[in-house]
Amino acid sequence: MPLNINEFKARFQDSLPVNYYEMNISPPVAGAASELLKFRTENIMLPGIQFFSIDNYSAYGNGLNYNIPYRYAPTEINVTHTVDQRGAVLEIFRDWGNKIVDLDGNSKFGAYYFKDYVVDADIVVYNRKKEKAATIKLYEVYPISVDPVNLGWGTNDDITKLSVSYRFTRYEVEK
């Protein structure tokens, strides 16, 4: 059967756009960090799934080889935050990092309790009608890396951006 261009267009219009979203996260640090990060999340990746597997499994030692998944790990997500003129976004992640490990060297213990620095977060995705299409709920979220910020004399009109990779223990998709 030949492709019906009108049907194709109608189906394409119900596609989910990539630019209608918001991230709701409240770092365990003082201040209005959640509202600031909500409006300063420029780019985000939705989580994926990585499977751990037994590779080259062959029943009874011969025959076909299989890779058998036995466990999963949600993939970390990368988020780009724009930095405000006061540098509060930079301060949020420095303070959060100091709740994960002692960045300042003031404590005799180097690392802190997991339960004290993880938070839950939501990524809300909207459709073209600006209706909520899905909420991705992330559980026990924390930054695993905060990338260096690149500054330069030749980029006069660019905005300073901070890339952060977040890990989490599990996630759910709610419609």
Per-residue pLDDT tens digits for 13-31: 678 889 999 999 999 987 7
What is d(CA 139, CA 49) in angstroms, rounded to the nearest whole number?
A: 15
Going by DSSP bridges, is the β-strand pair 161-167/77-82 parallel, antiparallel, or unpaired?
A: antiparallel
> What are the helix and strand counts (H, E) for the chain?
3, 9
pLDDT at 120 over 70: yes
Closest listed residue to residue 116, CA positions, set 29, 22, 52, 25: 29
- The CATH number fitting domain 16-174, selected from 1.10.10, 1.10.3470, 1.10.4040, 2.30.110: 2.30.110
* Residue 100 CA, distance from chain mean position: 18
pLDDT at 34 over 80: no
What are 63-101's pLDDT values in tens digits? 888 889 999 999 999 999 999 999 999 999 999 999 999
What are 137-160's pLDDT values in tens digits? 999 999 999 999 999 888 888 999
CA atoms within 13 A on the CB side of 161: 14
Mean pLDDT of the chain: 90
